[in-house]
Amino acid sequence: MKNDFRARSHPAYWAFIVHRMSGLLLALFLPLHFWALGQALHGAAQLDGFLRWTEHPLVKFAETGLVLLLAAHMTGGLRLLALEFLEWHEWQKTLLAAAAGVALVAGLAFLLNLV
């Protein structure tokens, strides 16, 4: 039990949770994303009709969350690829913080441009 608790309080465990949850949520979002873009098949007006809905503040908030999830999944995935395929170096310990930082920057840049 003690080992379990210690493992789960480690930042790498939270990186695992973030990677897994972001991947799951992005996979669930993809069909909606593809459906929305598919509206263009019925004309620009149809796509615009959908895009007007995205002007709602709550939708903008959700969009920012999705961008953050996408960025976090990408940077977390790059960290995993570096851990799995590169020879071990001390700097790899800092990848977790770098992954979180880059993801936050992407999310904030999107939010600042969106509002």
Using CB under 8 A as the criterion, which residues of the chain lie in contact with another protein when the complex forms?
Answer: 20, 23-24, 26-27, 30-31, 33-48, 51, 54-55, 67, 70-71, 73-74, 77-78, 80-81, 84-85, 106, 109-110, 113-114
The distance of closest approach from Cβ of residue 63 to another protein in the complex, given in angstroms and rounded to an integer, is: 8
| Choice between 84 and 87, CB closer to another protein | 84
Question: How many angstroms separate the Cα of 83 from the Cα of each of 24, 41, 56, 92?
Answer: 22, 43, 40, 7
DSSP class of 9: T
What whole-number distance in Å separates Cα of residue 52 and Cα of residue 11?
A: 40
The distance of closest approach from Cβ of residue 77 to another protein in the complex, given in angstroms and rounded to an integer, is: 5
Long-range contacts, stretch 61-66, CB < 8 angstroms, 24+ apart: 63/110, 63/114, 64/107, 64/110, 64/111, 64/114, 66/25, 66/26, 66/29
| Choice between 31 and 90, CB closer to another protein | 31
The distance of closest approach from Cβ of residue 92 to another protein in the complex, given in angstroms and rounded to an integer, is: 17
The distance of closest approach from Cβ of residue 30 to another protein in the complex, given in angstroms and rounded to an integer, is: 6
